[in-house]
Amino acid sequence: MPYPKTFHQRLAGKVAIVTGAGSQGHGVGTGKAIACVFAREGASVCLVDQHEARAAETLAMIHEADGNAFVCAADVTDSDACARIVAATVERYGALHVLVNNVGVAGAGGRFDNLDEASWDRIIDVNLKSAFLMSRSAAPRLIADGGGSVVNVSSTAGIRSHGSAAYGSSKAGMIALTRELAVAYGRDGMRANAIAPGHILTPMVESMLDDESRERRRKIAPLGIEGDAWDVASAALFLASDEARFITGACLPVDGGVTEIAALCAYELMQL
């Protein structure tokens, strides 16, 4: 879908943190899209990225649309850095209502014996540990400001095997972490939900695909179209908004239906 043109101030007066708010390479990744949509919907947004220049590009897009945001360069695998992000956001805006744990890195596929321990540790740390650390730091403030919402960006690789042991495990862990947050903090008014994007074209994904692979991904899903970062941002907006006030512990696939199709049926679709 194209960059949305119509907005309804669904996050007016809200303060949000979005991790991984920059994009790797040209184009729009999920973090950049989520941050831009949140700002256009009235939120004040802390843009977190380890690469300050990437987050600065997102900031420029938000400022061009008269949105409110600032950049916080940090490594979210470090607990002290996560605490500083929350503190900086509250100091600047006076509150915190939404946390989006979006940051993530991909991992090579293949058999376990081809996966070294350092690569496993890095993927688990960036994709899963960071969400734990950010949620732990943000939860007290979210509760103090009315409960708030945590949105975790997982993947269909956390629901079905995609042939990448570390990446799939980290994203499955993200779904489990979401359930635990929802149960542990529900009576405090805090909601937690996950999004499982699948077959979404982002700059990071595009760098790993050739034309044939990209076409195969498109054809295998029931809708037969390709998703993009704006599709994920729309789902994140809904889950972060008060419209989802009675939804917690859920995992919403944004995947064109690919996780709901059996292998043989998917094979037949690819022949069309």
Active site residues per annotation: 167
Find the radius of gyration of the CA atoms of the chain: 18
Q: Give φ, ψ of 98 to 5 degrees.
A: -140, 135
**Strand residues in the chain grouped as ranges (E):** 15-19, 44-49, 68-73, 98-101, 149-153, 191-197, 200-201, 227-228, 251-254
Picking from 43, 51, 104, the residue whose alpha carbon sits closest to that of residue 68 is: 43
Burial 199-210 (b: 16+ CB within 10 A, else e): bbbbebbeeeee
| Helix orientation angle between 117-124 and 165-185, rounded to the nearest 10 degrees | 30
| Helix orientation angle between 52-64 and 30-40, rounded to the nearest 10 degrees | 30
* Cα dihedral: 36, 236, 246, 241 (round 10): 0
In the block, tokens 């509250």 appear at 90
- Strand 251-254 versus strand 191-197 pairing type: parallel
Cα separation, 123 vs 47, in Å, equals 21
